């Protein structure tokens, strides 16, 4: 995401959307009641006597909306915003706009600390390098992309292990060929992480290493006890992922949840529930606050965040296993600096 203009005095922020991940950040920056200015294409009225065979001309115009609803669909390339038109001849009518990559949007609002944190993170662009996961065993493989808010599965490949074409040596060369062909369809991967139980991940790693197509791409091979998405989340929570996924939001979230659960069961440094967070925050005992994305825009959350000075704030995406765990604890978790 790129900031074109940031004028807090006029509560005006002009942004350029650079990546699909930016749409998730924009969803969390915007709220009902905010005002936006963006472009839409609108059909132009034509005289009935004009050539009816010609397609109706569409003209690009700017509109100002009062935001009423925001629709975000994970892993797609548009964010849909519905609102009431505030100016011009269509003032008072409703309009939906689709915001996508390379679009410019003006936001009229004063950002609070949480929204400003999302903006800064998007601008820093932790995900400028594309990370691909290949998680497999001898029966199946999934290929997935790491996003700022979740793991996007793009292929699910079966080894057809019990089929007649499976090799007599217990290896199906077609299985690896299909996996490698799918990886080659991914645009500009910076890193490919191959993982899983057994020996399949290492066999695939060696085949990819021998393929000149992958020269210049960072390749990694790791054993894990699980395959599929569970294996990917297991890897992200492990210390060995540190250097490879350094700065990645999703990996940081997974490690935070792992730390929260360990402290909950062993040290007593973990707390959960809104009232508990408020209580210990006011005593200056909280090191980290973990909040479910679905709770982020609640008035009580905003009140908590405005009072939480000197505390690390983490908003956990709803589209991950970490987000599911946070929800099980009511959407509010914390890790204390020391035991009371």
Contact 28, 315 (CB under 8 A): yes
Q: Which residues contact 212 (CB under 8 A, 6 or more apart)?
A: none
- How much is the average pLDDT of 201-218? 95
Quote the pLDDT of residue 167: 52
Residue 45 has pLDDT above 70, yes or no: no
CA–CA separation, 155 and 161 (whole Å)? 18
Quote the pLDDT of residue 172: 66
CA–CA separation, 161 and 159 (whole Å)? 5
Q: What are phi and psi of 193, to 5 degrees?
A: -110, 115
Quote the pLDDT of residue 306: 85
Percent of the chain with pLDDT over 70: 91
pLDDT digits (tens, 9 = 90+) for 161-207: 765 554 555 566 799 999 999 999 998 888 999 999 999 999 999 99
Residue 333 has pLDDT above 50, yes or no: yes
Tokens of 55: 């397609």
- How much is the average pLDDT of 288-292? 96
**pTM summary value:** 0.83
* Strand order across the beta sheet in which 270-272 lies: 270-272, 332-336, 286-292, 312-316
Quote the pLDDT of residue 53: 47
Instruction: Set out the domains of the chain in order of their start, with CATH numbers.
Output: 2-124 (2.30.30.870), 132-247 (3.30.420.60), 252-336 (3.30.1330.30)
Cα 271–chain centre separation:
26
């Amino acid at each position: 995401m790129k900031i074109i203009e940031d004028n807090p005095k006029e509560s005006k922020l002009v942004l350029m959307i650079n990546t699909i991940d930016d749409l998730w950040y924009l969803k969390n920056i915007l709220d009902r009641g905010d005002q936006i200015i963006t472009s839409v294409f609108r059909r132009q009225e034509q005289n009935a006597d004009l050539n009816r065979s010609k397609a109706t001309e569409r003209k690009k115009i700017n509109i100002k909306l009062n935001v009423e609803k925001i629709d975000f669909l994970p892993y797609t390339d548009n964010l849909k915003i519905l609102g009431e038109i505030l100016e011009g001849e269509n003032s008072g009518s409703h309009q939906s706009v689709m915001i996508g990559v390379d679009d410019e949007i003006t936001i009229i609002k004063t950002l609070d600390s949480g929204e400003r944190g999302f903006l800064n993170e998007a601008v820093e662009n932790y995900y400028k390098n594309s990370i691909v996961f290949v998680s497999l065993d001898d029966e199946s493989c999934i290929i997935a992309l790491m996003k700022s808010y979740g793991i996007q599965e793009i292929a699910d490949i079966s080894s057809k292990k019990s089929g007649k074409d499976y090799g007599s040596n217990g290896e199906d060369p077609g299985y690896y060929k299909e996996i490698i062909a799918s990886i080659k369809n991914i645009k500009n991967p910076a890193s490919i992480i191959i993982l899983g139980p057994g020996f399949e991940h290492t066999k695939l790693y060696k085949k990819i290493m021998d393929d000149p197509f992958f020269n210049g791409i960072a390749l990694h091979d790791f054993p894990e006890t699980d395959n599929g998405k569970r294996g990917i989340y297991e890897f992200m929570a492990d210390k060995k992922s540190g250097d490879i996924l350094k700065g990645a939001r999703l990996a940081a979230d997974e490690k935070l949840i792992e730390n929260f659960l360990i402290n909950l069961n062993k040290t007593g440094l973990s707390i959960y529930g809104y009232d508990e967070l408020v209580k210990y925050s006011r005593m200056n005992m909280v090191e980290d606050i973990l909040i479910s994305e679905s709770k982020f825009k609640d008035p009580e959350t905003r009140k908590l965040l405005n009072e939480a000075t000197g505390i690390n704030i983490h908003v956990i995406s709803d589209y991950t296993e970490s987000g599911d765990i946070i929800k099980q604890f009511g959407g509010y978790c914390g890790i204390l600096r020391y035991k009371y």
